[in-house]
Structure 1
């Protein structure tokens, strides 16, 4: 009993000693955890067993980790912290990015404009002469500009040009609308007559907002070259007339080819024709025939006629059953589908030595 009384009297001192021991252990452990800034390879992480001792220091519960967290283990790695390589962009999109980055006006001096007016064109037509160097074409943003070439041309443009501009070629005129500002983009206009190529550098920024509505491009020709060309043209005969095969191909191209390829042909001129349906052009067939166009070369006429099957049964086109005095008849498709199907319409090409109405 005496020993028990002595133990009870010493119990507060033992509790104080154990508390000091736990605090000293916690302080040492805290110092070890905080010392992560040492130079050299990071130490391996060890699984420290949990302890049941209660510390007087309040414990803050860490937030759950979402994804990988860089604790500085790879601070000596040359690739650490570098951004992932950006995907490859097209020519047009890259030009738009360059134009956006070239805006070097500081944000502090940039003024906020309210109800900013759209760019206004200068009156008149701008003219440029192509002499080997590319022709610079300034474009106002969201305003269409016309580029007139010496002759009809086929355009060669970047595959992603639609991301920054709308480009369309009709005959010898190019219609261009800049959708966003962009750095210079090279397109090439290849003239159909002769195959000469004219490089055009399109650009849209604040300096080009007042560009004229139309730009006319000329080709520089030396005086002696012009004289030689005139002498050669006067001594050589006129362009030979197109034959029946050429006329038929030309008429088919005008109906079915893309608009950029449906251009004129030297020696072939268009002749006016009525677009009213012709009744009874194909004998014994329930079809509708409508002239779509007529062209002439020397003494030959070709007429493109649209033919549509109105019967519920497919139809084989019999060229011998056509009414009229034709030198040659060609069908785009020899068979028509039933009325209402996708194949119920085709074209006929009729060649005569007179106009269409005179050959019926």
Structure 2
């Protein structure tokens, strides 16, 4: 005969085990320190990468058909349908343009292997407070926030036109992994029909807007300049026509048409509006003769014609 106390304890143990939550899945922490992060994959298994920011994912063309990539809510979902050789992905912050590089490789799963755990990417040596920082706990979070605010304030000590111009030049000429993040900057869509014919009307130069970014109340627009003449062209900001805050040429002159030096980039910074609203209106040549009344037909009847002398 079972003792009633042991029976009661057994029932309590079963009830407790039934109400206990399932074990939380482990998360692998990777620290981004400008070195590519290895994220292995297994064919047919989805792996989640938490990054806590809105990112765009750059996938090489060779892996695009074998790798499904989805990004939502600060998480990137990777699933390989076939084996993939070592390949590098680029995660670009949609707000700042900063990059994080991932080295992936997908292999078929082996029998008895557990699924790979999700990955969380953190900046540098910092560890999110919710994961339990043994040295300082949650008290370090305000300190990190103050440090970041101080960094932003120090960056603002540099004039915004200088910061914007440097950011635009890095995006066009420097490798993406070396582009310095710029908090608050936003990519701006350009009008496809923008006419830049009035920008440098006295020079044999063709201008084409490439890209534009905005920070606070200022815009920077990168404009490609191409020499259409046979001689060298010296670039002088005084020939620019428009309402610009600053103007910076990537090179000081353009070589003759057809040479490697015939193209450069101009960075125009405007305040309160974009480039399209800062240009002078196009002036169309006026032909007075086109607006004169048509002359009356001369008489052709012999009776109406004057007598010949």
Could you tell me the TM-score, scaled by structure 1's length?
0.45
In 2, the alpha carbon distance for the partners of 1:300 and 1:271 equals 11
Larger Rg over CA atoms: 1
Alignment of 1:212-227 (within 5 A): 216-219=119-122, 220-223=127-130, 225-226=137-138
SS at match of 1:207: coil
Aligned residue in 2 for 1:239: 152
Task: Give 1:210 deviation, angstroms.
Answer: 10
Provide the aligned length of Structure 1 versus Structure 2. 198
Asked whether the 8 Å contact 1:286–1:310 carries over to 2, the reply is yes
- Backbone CA RMSD of aligned residues: 4.1
In 1, the alpha carbon distance for the partners of 2:260 and 2:115 equals 46
Cα distance change on mapping 1:316 and 1:131 into 2, 3 Å: closer
Match of 1:169 among 73, 90, 111: 90
Which portions of structure 1, spanning 4 or more consecutive aligned residues, are displaced by more than 6 angstroms?
Answer: 143-146, 208-212
In 2, the alpha carbon distance for the partners of 1:225 and 1:293 equals 43
Match of 1:229 among 141, 148, 169: 141
Deviation by residue 1:221-257 (Cα, 9 ceiling, x = unmatched): 2347445424774896793445222221111111111
In 1, the alpha carbon distance for the partners of 2:246 and 2:212 equals 14
Task: Give 1:217 deviation, angstroms.
Answer: 1.9
Task: Give 1:264 deviation, angstroms.
Answer: 3.9
Aligned residue in 2 for 1:130: 29
In 2, the alpha carbon distance for the partners of 1:138 and 1:150 equals 20
Asked whether the 8 Å contact 1:146–1:175 carries over to 2, the reply is no
Match of 2:216 among 291, 298, 302: 298
In 1, the alpha carbon distance for the partners of 2:263 and 2:48 equals 36
Task: Give 1:205 deviation, angstroms.
Answer: 5.7
SS at match of 2:178: coil
Relative to its length, the structure with more strand (as a share) is: 2
In 1, the alpha carbon distance for the partners of 2:48 and 2:101 equals 6
Cα distance change on mapping 1:322 and 1:129 into 2, 3 Å: same
Task: Give 1:218 deviation, angstroms.
Answer: 4.0
Cα distance change on mapping 1:352 and 1:334 into 2, 3 Å: same
Aligned residue in 1 for 2:278: 359
Asked whether the 8 Å contact 2:255–2:262 carries over to 1, the reply is yes
Cα distance change on mapping 1:139 and 1:238 into 2, 3 Å: closer
Cα distance change on mapping 1:263 and 1:210 into 2, 3 Å: farther
- Unaligned 5+ residue runs, structure 2? 1-24, 32-36, 56-84, 93-98, 131-135, 280-309
Task: Give 1:323 deviation, angstroms.
Answer: 0.7
Deviation by residue 1:52-82 (Cα, 9 ceiling, x = unmatched): xxxxxxxxxxxxxxxxxxxxxxxxxxxxxxx
- Unaligned 5+ residue runs, structure 1? 1-125, 153-163, 179-202
Match of 1:320 among 238, 243, 250: 238
Cα distance change on mapping 1:348 and 1:204 into 2, 3 Å: same
| Higher relative contact order structure (alpha carbons within 8 Å, sequence separation ≥ 6) | 2
Cα distance change on mapping 1:336 and 1:130 into 2, 3 Å: same
SS at match of 2:266: strand
Asked whether the 8 Å contact 1:289–1:305 carries over to 2, the reply is yes
Q: Is 1:266 matched with 2:179?
A: no
Q: Is 1:207 matched with 2:120?
A: no
Task: Give 1:345 deviation, angstroms.
Answer: 0.9
Deviation by residue 1:301-343 (Cα, 9 ceiling, x = unmatched): 2211111111122211121000112121110001111122211
